[in-house]
Amino acid sequence: MVANEARLWSSLGTMNGSVKKAVIPAAGLGTRFLPATKTVPKEMLPIVDKPIILYNIEECIRAGIEDVILVAGRGKSAIEDFFDTSYEVEDVLLKAGKTELLERVQSVKDKINIISIRQKEAKGLGHAVYIAQPVIGDEPFAVLLGDEIMIETEECKSAIGDLVDLTQKNGKSTVAVMPVEKADVSKYGIIECTEKSENLWEVSAVVEKPSLESAPSQLALPGRYVFGPEILSALRDTKPGKNGEIQLTDAMTQVAKSEGLLATVLKSRRFDAGDKFGYLQANIEMGLENAEVKEKLQHYLKQLASTL
Ligand code: UTP
């Protein structure tokens, strides 16, 4: 084992082999959802009856994460409020005997700590992760993009939990990738890589939203990462890159070249809820799994399809 690997491994070891902190950057401007996001953070938009952010928090809980560092920005206080006690609502539900709904409203509060940090200016995803450093300290940690939803499957209980397991097993920072169509490479961070073993790639560089001609592969980053603390030193030295933002992908290239970086395709279902089409897809698919509306929705979709 090389020295750098041993260092990450030992930092994992000091935590009894687990990752307990996750950063959820949610301070972006959400321009793709304007005008809705003028006053409502996109992370609070509902998928059926749950805000997007709650899917991510539940994914963290299933992975055994204890502290979530929520990076919020201006106009995002509704996200912070969501994780507070709502005495008025809870009292009304209690008095009305709506215990099931009350449990749903209270569900996450006691299972995870939410620590909120403000990104005063949207200087990029890399900057959003970097400002969580005082809370992260010198530990490995997870990052979940606040507008990406990963739904559990039989093979994958928690997307971020699977990455945590792989990071511990291999002693290297590990990120999720997904194959994308050629037409879509310019929307994502794309990895340059060599295959190490089945469904495990050794990353040599990450390119932010490349043109098709310059894309090193068709493996894109969908927004789930587990890093050792060295990503924070890389971010400290990262200058503004594409679009003048501090890019997480630039710091990932540094880590790939020094400590090493692995990538894997996760077995969860994914929705890009920060994009209009992905958001609608998530609502339809999750609606078809919701006991209250699924039959009506099925019927409606069949009827609608016959008219298209
Ligand atoms: P996006 O670029 O997808 O999100 O950033 P955005 O800026 O909110 O949305 P659009 O493109 O204008 O519609 C990916 C993630 O990084 C966070 C965003 O909140 C999102 O979860 N982010 C981005 C920050 O927290 N801070 C930033 O400065 C930039």
Distance in Å, CA 294 to ligand 1 centroid: 32
Q: What is the DSSP string of the chain?
A: --HHHHHHHHHHHTTTT---EEEEEE-S--GGGTTGGGTS-GGGSEETTEEHHHHHHHHHHHTT--EEEEEE-TT-HHHHHHTS--HHHHHHHHHTT-HHHHHHHHTTTTT-EEEEEE-SS---HHHHHHTTHHHH-SS-EEEE-TTEEEE-BTTBS-HHHHHHHHHHHHTSEEEEEEE--GGGGGGSEEEEEEEEETTEEEEEEEEES--TTT-S-SEE--SEEEE-THHHHHHHTPPP-GGGS--HHHHHHHHHHTT-EEEEE-SSEEEETTSHHHHHHHHHHHHTT-TTTHHHHHHHHHHHHHH-
Cα separation, 180 vs 199, whole angstroms:
15
What is the pLDDT tens value at each position of the chain, 308 positions in all?
444 444 444 444 433 358 999 999 999 888 999 999 888 899 999 999 999 999 999 999 999 999 999 999 877 788 888 887 888 888 888 888 888 888 877 778 788 999 999 999 999 999 999 999 999 999 999 999 989 999 999 999 999 999 999 999 999 999 999 999 999 999 999 999 999 999 999 999 999 999 999 999 999 999 999 999 999 999 999 999 999 999 999 999 999 999 999 999 999 999 999 999 999 999 999 999 999 999 999 999 999 999 98
Distance in Å, CA 284 to ligand 1 centroid: 24
List the domain boundaries for the chain: 19-274
pTM (2 d.p.)? 0.91
Distance in Å, CA 5 to ligand 1 centroid: 31
Determine the pLDDT at residue 103: 80
Q: Among 69, 123, 125, which is best to mutate for testing ligand 1, by the most ligand atoms less than 8 A from CB? A: 125
- Nearest residue (CA) to ligand 1, atom 5: 28
* CATH match for 19-274 among 3.90.550.10, 3.40.50.800, 3.40.190.10, 3.90.1300.10: 3.90.550.10
Determine the pLDDT at residue 1: 42
- Nearest residue (CA) to ligand 1, atom 1: 28
Distance in Å, CA 26 to ligand 1 centroid: 7
Ligand 1 pocket list (CB less than 6 A): 25-32, 71, 119, 122-125, 127-128, 145-147, 274
